[in-house]
């Protein structure tokens, strides 16, 4: 019998001072049985970083033909394609042909270092690709906030996020390895 996804509810109050975006979002996230708390919280952080009414979570780990998040235009074209981890550069190239803008949120300090050194030259030519990295210790702190029902205040200023629930605070900074927007 296959394991079912865990359903998480997240109420986000986003104050992104860098983009001047201030809005509340009520989100439902399906956490795949093999998905770690770190990864699901990175999906929430990616959402907050790019927050828009049309940005939505996709099937993620359970499908190869969709990203973790995407933003579709009313005419069906893909405005934003959002990946997590350290995917094959061929997947990123394909995404860059499908979408106006592609974002990669990478994590795993050692894995990112190896991936970047191996694939930097291949991905630097992708002009609509932005690559952001979160450090492991910061992602671990963010993962401590996971609950089935979350109320998170998320504030960004000068590329640094402060994420707070009723009991704890996590501070994270996304470092741009490549910025093309």
For the domain that residue 160 is a member of, what is the CATH number? 3.10.640.10
Pairing of strands 129-133, 175-178: antiparallel
pLDDT tops 90 at residue 119:
yes
Q: 174: which residues sit within 8 A by CB, 6+ positions away?
A: 45, 49, 105, 132, 133, 134, 159, 161
Q: Answer yes or no: is 49 within a domain.
A: yes
Can you tell me the distance from the alpha carbon of 37 to that of 56, in angstroms, rounded to the nearest whole number? 19
pLDDT at 61: 55
Question: What is the model's pLDDT at position 104?
Answer: 98
Alpha-carbon span 58 to 144, nearest angstrom: 23
Question: Which residue carries 């042909």 as its tokens?
Answer: 97
- Look at the chain and count its residues: 181
161 pLDDT above the threshold of 60 = yes
What's the CA gap between 178 and 176, in Å, rounded?
A: 5
In whole angstroms, how far apart are CA 106 and each of 65, 71, 132, 149? 19, 19, 6, 25
- Please state the domain count of the chain: 1
pLDDT tens track for 5-38: 899 999 999 999 999 999 999 999 999 888 999 9
* 131, 109 Cβ separation under 8 angstroms: no
Task: Tell whether 1 is covered by a domain.
Answer: no
User: Percent of the chain scored above 90 by pLDDT?
Assistant: 86
Determine, yes or no, domain membership for 92. yes
Predicted confidence at residue 180, as pLDDT, reads 76
Structure tokens at 20: 């001047």
In a domain, 149, yes or no: yes
- Percent of the chain surpassing pLDDT 70: 96
Quick one: DSSP state of residue 143? H
Domain that holds residue 22: 6-178
pLDDT of residue 63: 58
pLDDT-based confidence at residue 4 (cuts at 50, 70, 90): confident
Give me the mean pLDDT over the 105-118 stretch: 96
pLDDT digits (tens, 9 = 90+) for 33-84: 889 999 999 999 999 999 999 999 987 655 567 899 999 999 989 999 999 9
pLDDT at 60: 60
Q: Say if residue 181's pLDDT is above 60.
A: no
């Amino acid at each position: 019998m296959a394991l079912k996804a865990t359903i998480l509810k997240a109420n986000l109050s986003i104050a992104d001072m860098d983009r001047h975006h201030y809005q509340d979002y009520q989100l439902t996230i399906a956490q795949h049985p093999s998905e770690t708390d770190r990864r699901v919280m990175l999906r929430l952080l990616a959402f907050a970083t790019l927050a828009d009414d049309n940005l939505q979570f996709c099937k993620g780990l359970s499908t190869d033909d969709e990203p973790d998040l995407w933003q579709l235009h009313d005419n069906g074209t893909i405005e934003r394609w959002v990946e997590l981890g350290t995917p094959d550069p061929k997947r990123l190239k394909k995404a860059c042909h499908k979408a106006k803008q592609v974002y990669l949120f990478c994590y795993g300090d050692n894995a990112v270092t190896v991936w970047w050194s191996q694939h930097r030259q291949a991905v630097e030519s992708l002009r609509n690709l932005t690559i952001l990295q979160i450090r492991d210790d910061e992602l671990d702190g963010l993962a401590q906030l996971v609950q089935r029902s979350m109320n998170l205040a998320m504030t960004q200023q000068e590329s640094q996020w402060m994420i707070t629930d009723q009991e704890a605070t996590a501070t994270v900074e996304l470092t741009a390895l490549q910025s093309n927007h």
